[in-house]
């Protein structure tokens, strides 16, 4: 099963620093990526909705990894506000280290996204999200502490 650490950062500059540090510590560049909303999303025609399409793809990918709907929505809201997501995939030990590094760089807590404007309904019940990571047949999110999350999928 794949294991991926995910951290949301308030700005792309911090996310770039995280990626540089991850690659410097042991991650291959192919195992780390940044996702952020493009400033200029071209519109093909009157029916084009590039921003919505982008958010739907990001939310779908996060849900496929084990994020709850609330978490995926919160991550999308963070991107909408100019933030950037960093994904680091590797072994259990690698993603644990990646999560720790992300937290040292200030990965945002999901709770930081609550109560801000129209996204106030993004409350997350962490107790209902615990997954046994040691079981090879379970998929979901493991809370590692701090803002970074580790997903097993």
DSSP 39-71: S-----STT--HHHHHHHHHHHHHHHHT--HHH
Strands 32-36 and 84-90: antiparallel
What integer pLDDT is reported at residue 49 of this predicted model?
Answer: 73
What integer pLDDT is reported at residue 48 of this predicted model?
Answer: 62
- Identify the domain containing residue 127 by its residue range: 3-152
Q: What is the pLDDT along the chain (153 residues), one digit of tens a residue?
A: 789 999 999 999 999 999 999 999 989 999 999 999 876 656 666 666 777 888 899 999 999 998 899 989 999 999 989 999 999 999 999 999 999 999 999 999 877 655 444 433 333 333 333 333 333 333 444 555 578 988 887
What integer pLDDT is reported at residue 31 of this predicted model?
Answer: 96
Provide the domain count of the chain.
1
β-bridge mates for residue 142, sequence order: 150
Which alpha helices (DSSP H) does the chain contain, by range?
A: 12-25, 50-65, 69-80, 92-104
Q: Cβ neighbours of residue 76 under 8 Å, at least 6 residues apart?
A: 55, 58, 59
pTM of the model: 0.76
Contact 88, 31 (CB under 8 A): yes
Kindly report the number of other CB atoms within 10 A of residue 147's CB atom.
Answer: 20
What integer pLDDT is reported at residue 134 of this predicted model?
Answer: 38
What integer pLDDT is reported at residue 51 of this predicted model?
Answer: 79
Angle separating helix axes 69-80 and 50-65, nearest 10 degrees:
140
Q: What is the mean pLDDT of the chain?
A: 78
């Amino acid at each position: 099963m794949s294991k991926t650490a995910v951290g949301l950062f308030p700005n792309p500059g911090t996310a770039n620093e995280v990626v540089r540090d991850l690659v410097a510590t042991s991650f291959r560049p192919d195992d780390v990526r940044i996702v952020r909303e493009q400033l200029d999303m071209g519109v093909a025609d009157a029916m084009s909705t590039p921003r919505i399409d982008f958010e739907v793809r990001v939310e779908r990918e996060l849900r496929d990894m084990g994020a709850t709907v609330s978490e995926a929505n919160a991550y999308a809201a963070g991107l909408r506000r100019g933030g950037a997501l960093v994904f680091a995939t590797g072994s259990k030990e690698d993603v644990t280290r990646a999560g720790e590094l992300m937290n040292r760089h200030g990965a945002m807590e999901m709770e930081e996204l609550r109560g801000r404007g129209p996204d106030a309904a993004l409350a997350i019940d962490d107790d209902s999200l615990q997954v046994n990571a040691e079981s090879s047949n379970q998929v979901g999110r493991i809370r590692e502490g701090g803002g970074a999350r580790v997903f097993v999928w």
